[in-house]
Homo-oligomer: A and B are copies of this chain.
Amino acid sequence: MENENDKLSEQEFLGKYDANVYEHPSVTVDTLIFSVMDNDSSNYRKLPEKELKILLIKRKDHPYRNQWALPGGFVKLDENLDDAAYRELKEETNVNDVYLEQLYTWGDINRDPRTRVISCSYMALINGNSTLITASSDAGDVKWFSLKSKVIQENKTIFEKGYQLEKKISIMLECGEVKLSCDVLITKKKEHEMISVTRKVLKSEGLAFDHSMIIYYGLERLRAKTEFTDIALHLMEQEFTLTELQNVYEVILDKTLLAANFRRKINMYVEETDNSTKDAGHRPARLYKHKQQKSYDFY
């Protein structure tokens, strides 16, 4: 039970410490950058439709060469995790004004064919229309893809001491001619008090690594938070109309909302300005801005 370190002072111990006795995993930060953008309105005086988008990068190197991946990279030894996420974000987009939140850390052994790579994922929300100056990166291999998902299968089994839920989700990404699609299977199994959630990529056409899982996880988080926080306001420009905001909510939640109820609900998050839209071919709408006064919790 005697340990040779027992005799050392903390100073001495730290001096002797060798971090490289064991091999370490690599750690990356991968960021899911969301934005909602206007679809060019074809009809002459209709409002433009909104689309939920994410930023993807075409890989130039192995592995998954020529496939699309979330922007990210290795964490430097002298860099905080959050800072790494900011750095990568800044490298891909030219945006300073972002909402950034850690999502989840993915650590399956074989998620990267090169070596053991643990990925700490982040989600960023940026206002796409004003900051379209993206892709500081060299070629045109950084693109916004429209994102749609749907549940294509769901089943539930209840047995003696637990249950099992399975949900198969299809994710569709589109950018001009380029179409990517993948299926993710989420299994939640309960046995006694033990609950395990497994996420598995069933099919991945054009998307690298396990990034389809991360995308779906982030989408769920965005949806959940949109329902009861003001998070979606980070996707808006400085000033916006309530109808625009409603469209953003609708495109995230994938359902239509009633204007009267919507306005009542988000009233606490917004503040009137003196401005309004004009030349719209119909009644002008008042412009609002994100209200600071409310002090939602830290979570």
Chain A residues numbered 54-87 whose CB sits less than 8 Å from any CB in chain B: 60-63, 65, 74-75, 77-82, 84
| Neighbour of A167 across the interface among B23, B84, B298, CB < 8 A | B298
Q: Is A114 an interface residue (CB 8 A)?
A: yes
Q: Is A295 an interface residue (CB 8 A)?
A: yes
Residue tally, chain A, CB below 8 Å to B: 77
Least CB distance from A139 to B in Å reads 9
Q: Is A280 an interface residue (CB 8 A)?
A: no
Given contacts A19-B114, A60-B3, A107-B120, contact A165 B25 (CB under 8 A): no
The interface bits of chain A over 1-23 (1 if a CB of B lies within 8 angstroms of the residue's CB, else 0) are: 10101001010011001011011
Q: Is A284 an interface residue (CB 8 A)?
A: no
| A298 / chain B contacts, CB cutoff of 8 Å | 165, 167, 186, 188, 197, 220
| A106 / chain B contacts, CB cutoff of 8 Å | 81
Q: Are A118 and B27 in contact (CB under 8 A)?
A: yes
Q: Are A3 and B61 in contact (CB under 8 A)?
A: yes
Q: How many monomers of this chain does the complex have?
A: 2
The segment from A43-51, A96-104, A247-255 found at the interface with B is A96-104
Least CB distance from A229 to B in Å reads 11
List the interface of chain A (C-beta within 8 A of B): 1, 3, 5, 8, 10, 13-14, 17, 19-20, 22-27, 60-63, 65, 74-75, 77-82, 84, 96-100, 102, 104-109, 113-116, 118, 120, 125-127, 138, 156, 158, 161-163, 165, 167, 186, 188, 190, 192-197, 220-221, 224, 234, 292-293, 295, 298-299
